[in-house]
Structure 1
Amino acid sequence: MPTMDSATVYADCVAGLSNAALSAKFSAATQAVKDEADLYAVRAAASELHLFQAAAWGDGDQLVLQDLTKSEFVGLYDGQMSSTNGNGRNHYDRLRMTELGICPFCGFGHVSTLDHFASKARYPAFSVLPINLVPACADCNKGKGSAPIEAGSAMPHPYFEESRIESDTWLFCDVLQTQPVTTSYRAETPAHWPAALSGRVQRYFSELELAGRYAVQSASHLANIKAFLRKLMPDELQWYLSRKAVGFPYPNTWEAALYAGLLRSPWFMQEGYRL
């Protein structure tokens, strides 16, 4: 969760505007923007962002808050936050920083941009709201799209989702009997989870096309360790894979699921690892 003050980010972006009339319009809307930001936090925590009215597609002149239009809100982000010369660029850079620079959506892509969780095309009032901006790789940013958020169609919000999405195992990897060895990934949520939570995870897995992307990652990884594994005796292989499987802090990364899947495969443990 970003710790920066949303009002400060908004004020810095507005301060960079050269058009005095536009700057005055944004300044006059400060309280309305703050109220919307506070409501965003409440609704995001309850998985109710769908309650916000989505803007029409392509209508830049649509009024969003007071007398501010969709194009003006989007322009504030493009011109003052994401632009290298923008007055709010320092906030953009801080938000984009993650540990190791890895995308939190897929867990392996390099962060290259900020994703508007509620897209700025549909929810422009949140264009520069820090808790709506998530560091992402280019593939995940494009995969999320810009469709309106509807009840029962949302993905997990990285800042607000329940913690069990990381602690409970729901990502599984199945080993395919091929040469070279390949894998197949699936999302299978725990039976005790609420249907809404399971739905969000399934949509996340599907919309970002993680099954195929994770399979590519695991194929590359297996190719890199193939020569090492071939040298191991069966008991050494069991020990090595067991240690690797429990060595990841979160069970739902492609690599943690891979090693758990390798251990579950009698074929791989007996002969597949030598192919």
Structure 2
Amino acid sequence: MDKPTLDSGAVYDICTATARPSGVCKALQGLKEIVVKAAAAYEVAAAQQAQHTLSHLKHQPDGEPAAKPAEAAKVAKAAKAAKGSLNEQLKKTYVNRMVGGAGRAVYDKLRGSCHGLCALCGHGAADTLDHQMPKDSFPLLSVVPVNLVPACSRCNHQKREQAPTYAGDQTLHPYFDGDVHDHLWLFARITGPPKPSVIFYVDPPADMPPTFAARARHHFAALDLSGLYNSQIGNELRSLGMSLAKHPLLPAELRGHLQETAEIKAAVEGRNSWKAALYRGLVDSTWYVDGGWEEPWK
């Protein structure tokens, strides 16, 4: 997924220009250079799969770690003008002036940048934006475009306010971790009687970079994608079973049909999409191909 080309400084200007009262507006605009520098640091770190190295931005500008004396005085003065915490005002900039204010056009553009789908699960409708580095801990990144990813409410809630503590301790970043899909790592195992079921799992290949392998596992677990995918397979398999009942195929023909479908799903939805994994699993299931498809799927 292509990263946004929106300029972080320009977006920040849009989202702070209408802040009220005037003291809050002035205090926020006075932080622009700090926000732009934080955005640049974030982009460098994300490109290197090293977001965990951004701890110096945590709770800034007026939180931990403690600012230098000269900077602390400047921050305290700005916070007073802003009638409270600058961190809270930065978070309000997202809530009040990006989601529901002057920056709404930016919000909508980012939200629709993955064809209207959640960039985290690839399935749900993108009805919100996820802060890859959470705004509660990293308020300077609240309206930085490359930190905002189109997401469904389920994934956004499931991910919560998690921030990485090491390179692999992070969900996959759609803008920077695209190379992870050069590798096949999502699989599905079909189990037969007495109760047919599908088990989705992550099994990174040996040549997959360790950081990507760890992130794929973390992404799958943190977002409970196994639960999400299993909630979707019923209709897919019932439809397939009804089609096969009307147009029966010999086992060898069925295996070829399933293989072709798996390749199409991989080409259209991604090789690590749940549908591509499902059909690959069906190809490998002798039980399913030899008649298991006739079993009722609940």
Q: TM-score, normalised by structure 1?
A: 0.91
Could you tell me how far 1:251 is from its partner in structure 2?
1.2
Matched, 1:232 2:248: yes
Hey, what does 2:290 align to over in structure 1?
270
Partner Cα distance (2:178, 2:62) in 1: 37
Cα separation, 2, equivalents of 1:123 and 1:34: 13
- In the TM superposition, residue 46 of structure 1 has moved relative to its aligned partner by 1.0
Q: CA offset at residue 124 of structure 1?
A: 0.7
CA gap 1:222/1:106 in 2 versus in 1, 3 angstroms:
same
Is the aligned partner of 1:29 residue 2:31? Answer: yes
Match of residue 39 from structure 1: 41
* Amino acid paired to 2:135: K
SS at match of 1:81: helix
1:261 equivalent in alignment to 2:261: no
* 1:237-248 alignment, distance < 5 Å: 237-247=254-264, 248=266
Q: Which residue of 2 aligns with 1:212?
A: 227
Q: Is the Cα contact below 8 Å between 1:173 and 1:258 reproduced in 2?
A: yes
Q: Is the 8 A contact 1:262 1:269 kept in 2?
A: yes
Of 229, 235, 252, 2:272 maps to: 252
Say whether residues 1:200 and 2:215 are aligned partners: yes
Give the whole-Å Cα distance in 1 for the aligned partners of 2:185 and 2:61: 41
Checking the alignment, whether the CA contact within 8 Å between 2:52 and 2:164 is kept in structure 1 is yes
**Bigger Cα displacement from structure 2, 234-243 vs 132-141:** 234-243
Select which of 136, 143, 149 maps to 1:128.
Answer: 143
Q: Which amino acid aligns with 1:252?
A: N
Q: CA deviation at 1:12?
A: 0.5
**Does the C-alpha gap of structure 1 residues 74 and 185 become closer, same or farther in structure 2, counting only changes over 3 Å?**
same
Distance 1:242 1:162 in 2: 25
Secondary structure, counterpart of 1:221 in structure 2:
helix
Matched, 1:16 2:28: no
In structure 1, stretches of 5+ residues that fail to align are none
1: CA distance, partners of 2:61 / 2:196: 51
Quote how far apart the aligned CAs of 1:180 are.
6.5
Aligned partner of 2:197 among 177, 182, 185: 182
Among candidates 51, 54, 72, match of residue 53 of structure 2: 51
Equivalent pairs counted in the alignment come to: 270
Q: What SS does the corresponding residue of 1:246 show, helix, strand or coil?
A: helix
What is the alpha-carbon distance in structure 2 between the residues aligned to residue 238 and residue 147 of structure 1?
Answer: 42
After superposition, the C-alpha distances for 1:97-137 in whole angstroms (9 at most, x for unaligned) are 03441111111111110000100011110000000000000
Partner of 1:161 in structure 2? 177
TM-score, normalising length from structure 2? Answer: 0.85
Could you tell me how far apart the structure 1 residues matched to 2:62 and 2:207 are?
46
Please identify, of 133-142 and 96-105, the stretch whose mean Cα deviation from structure 2 is larger: 96-105
Q: 1:121 to 1:237 in 2, by over 3 A?
A: same
Secondary structure of 2:188 counterpart: strand
1:184 deviates by: 0.6
C-alpha distance in structure 2 between counterparts of 1:61 and 1:4, whole Å: 26
Q: What code does the residue aligned with 2:156 have?
A: N
Q: Aligned partners of 2:181 and 2:210: how far apart in 1?
A: 17
Tell me how far apart the structure 2 counterparts of residues 273 and 18 of structure 1 sit (CA, whole Å).
62
Q: 1:71 is matched by which residue type in structure 2?
A: E
Are the equivalent residues in 1 in contact too, given 2:14–2:103 (CA < 8 A)?
yes
Quick check: 2:220–2:226 contact (8 Å CA) kept in 1? Answer: yes
The structural deviation recorded for 1:40 is 0.7
**Secondary structure of 2:226's aligned partner:** helix
For the structure 1 residues 179 and 100, does the alpha-carbon distance in structure 2 shift closer, same or farther, using more than 3 Å as the test? farther
Maintained 8 Å contact 1:9/1:91: yes
Q: Distance in 2 between matches of 1:106 and 1:251?
A: 13
**Paired-residue identity, %:** 31
